[in-house]
Amino acid sequence: MSFSKAVDLLNLARMATGYVGVSLVEIEAEFDCVRRTAQRMTDALVRTFPDTEDYFDTDGIKRWRVPRRKVAEFFAPDAEQIATLDMASDLLAKQGLRREENQLRSLRSTLNILTSDRARTRVEADSEALLVAMGHAARPGPRPASDARVDEQIALALKGPFQLSILYRSRTDNEAKWRQVSPYGLLLGERRYLIAQDTARDDDRLRHYRVEDIQNAKVTEAWFAIPEDFDLDAYSRRAFGVFQDEREFSEIVWKFTPEAAQHAARFLFHPDQRTHIEDDGSLIVRFSACGHLEMCWHLYAWGDQVQVLAPQALADLVANNRRSDFPSLP
């Protein structure tokens, strides 16, 4: 059997471990083959995995099903997959998402149980070596504060979605106040923001609530519907970081000096950015977004190696903070 056919057979076995198994029509669609080839593949499946059972479903369609325990070892996670899970868990912890971190670590433990002892020892050693080689370590640095009880309630509300009561203190409040909001999602960055509508307001505007400033939270029984045309990813792209102010939304144009251009070209400042190299070697970066303050925080690290061409309001904000004595670029 050729290598490609062996891979196809394993993929077929994976499909057949599902609760209802797999049919000839599904094999034809998955492997882009004709009926005769699909039949030969089921013959090979039965020869390779003798415990394969065939049956007719309620629609009279013949299906093949392989017990999961017979193919589990073929699909045991490798070292890179385990290392990726560990890195993802650590990143969730650094974002203050303790509940999600625990879920991922629970998945990691489940995978260990499903992996044979011999394979587990090898994978564990290899994944640890990969983590060390990739320089992945618990590094100090700023991270959002988190309250496990608040995080739990936010997660439950987002699953519904259900309206959420939050005890929240904004920067203009003297003390925290209870608000009832309809949560749309979370934006993660230097700070975490809960994106939600305030049910006490007549407008449909989405507001950003700093998660670390939510002192308490309680899921309500009030279900609500998120508009079908709402896309959290598209919404997040309207900001440079996580904070949004629609009054600031406009085209952003930065010009990096020829000395910094090559370095800046390796950055993705915004998912929708457009870049252009000028005749003098300088780099022009354009994108549309809001969040001038977060842009200032980033631009400061480039010192006098970047100039804001537009908008003027952002140029005015950074004008007096363009240092020339930084020893290196970001």
Burial of residue 127 (CB within 10 Å: 0-12, 13-18, 19+) is: buried
Please, what's the largest Cα pairwise distance for the chain? 77
Shared domain for 70 and 81, answered yes or no, is no
Least confident of 5-9, 50-54, 168-172, 300-304: 5-9
CATH of the domain at 227: 2.30.30
Shared domain for 117 and 189, answered yes or no, is no
The predicted model gives 149-174 an average pLDDT of 90
Taking alpha carbons only, the member of 48, 41, 42, 44 closest to residue 63 is: 42
Shared domain for 29 and 41, answered yes or no, is yes
Least confident of 137-151, 170-184, 219-233: 137-151
Q: Is residue 308 domain-resident?
A: yes
Residue at a domain's end among 203, 232, 261: 232
Shared domain for 81 and 68, answered yes or no, is no
SS3 19: coil
- The amino acid at residue 141 is G
DSSP 290: B
pLDDT digits (tens, 9 = 90+) for 40-94: 999 999 998 888 999 999 999 999 999 877 776 666 677 677 777 777 777 777 6
Shared domain for 224 and 153, answered yes or no, is yes
Least confident of 46-60, 79-93, 147-161, 211-225: 79-93
Check pLDDT > 50 for residue 302: yes
Q: Is residue 328 domain-resident?
A: no
- Please count the structural domains in the chain: 4
Percent of the chain whose predicted confidence (pLDDT) is above 70: 85
Please name the residues in contact with 118: beta carbons below 8 A apart, sequence gap of 6 or more. Answer: none
Shared domain for 68 and 81, answered yes or no, is no
pLDDT digits (tens, 9 = 90+) for 249-285: 999 999 999 999 999 999 999 989 999 999 999 999 9
Q: Looking at the chain, which runs of residues are DSSP E strands?
A: 22-23, 53-56, 62-65, 162-168, 177-187, 193-198, 207-210, 214-223, 250-256, 274-277, 283-289, 306-310
CA–CA gap between residue 95 and residue 248 (Å, rounded):
27
CA–CA gap between residue 271 and residue 269 (Å, rounded):
7
Residue at a domain's end among 40, 57, 74: 74
Query: Which residue in this structure is represented by tokens 């780099």?
Result: 283
Q: Is residue 239 domain-resident?
A: no
Question: How confident is the model at residue 155, as a pLDDT?
Answer: 86
Q: Is residue 298 domain-resident?
A: yes
- Domain range for residue 313? 246-321
Question: How confident is the model at residue 61, as a pLDDT?
Answer: 94
Tokens of 36: 């005769």
Taking alpha carbons only, the member of 143, 150, 154 closest to residue 94 is: 143
Does residue 64 or residue 233 have the better pLDDT? 64
Check pLDDT > 90 for residue 316: yes
Q: Is residue 240 domain-resident?
A: no
CA dihedral 294, 300, 302, 308 (to 10 degrees): 70
Taking alpha carbons only, the member of 287, 257, 283 closest to residue 269 is: 287
Shared domain for 9 and 42, answered yes or no, is yes
Residue at a domain's end among 104, 133, 162: 133
Check pLDDT > 70 for residue 125: no
Question: How confident is the model at residue 137, as a pLDDT?
Answer: 47
Question: How confident is the model at residue 209, as a pLDDT?
Answer: 93
Q: Is residue 143 domain-resident?
A: no
Q: Is residue 139 domain-resident?
A: no
Angstrom distances, CA of residue 63 to CA of 19, 67, 228, 266: 11, 13, 36, 51
Does residue 330 or residue 136 have the better pLDDT? 330
The predicted model gives 197-201 an average pLDDT of 94
Shared domain for 19 and 68, answered yes or no, is yes
Question: How confident is the model at residue 250, as a pLDDT?
Answer: 95
Q: Is residue 127 domain-resident?
A: yes
DSSP 64: E
Question: How confident is the model at residue 126, as a pLDDT?
Answer: 61
Shared domain for 67 and 100, answered yes or no, is no
Which letter, b or e, does each residue of 55-75 get, where b requires 16 or more Cβ atoms within 10 Å of its Cβ? eeeeeeeebbbbeeebbeeee
CATH of the domain at 24: 1.10.10.10
Taking alpha carbons only, the member of 47, 53, 45 closest to residue 19 is: 53
Taking alpha carbons only, the member of 317, 270, 277 closest to residue 297 is: 317
CATH of the domain at 272: 3.30.70
Shared domain for 105 and 117, answered yes or no, is yes
Q: Helix axis angle, 148-159 relative to 98-114, nearest 10°?
A: 80
Question: How confident is the model at residue 160, as a pLDDT?
Answer: 87
pTM above 0.75, yes or no: no
CA–CA gap between residue 290 and residue 242 (Å, rounded):
9
Q: For the chain, what is the mean pLDDT?
A: 85
Shared domain for 26 and 101, answered yes or no, is no
Shared domain for 258 and 308, answered yes or no, is yes
Taking alpha carbons only, the member of 247, 250, 238, 252 closest to residue 310 is: 252
Question: How confident is the model at residue 245, as a pLDDT?
Answer: 83
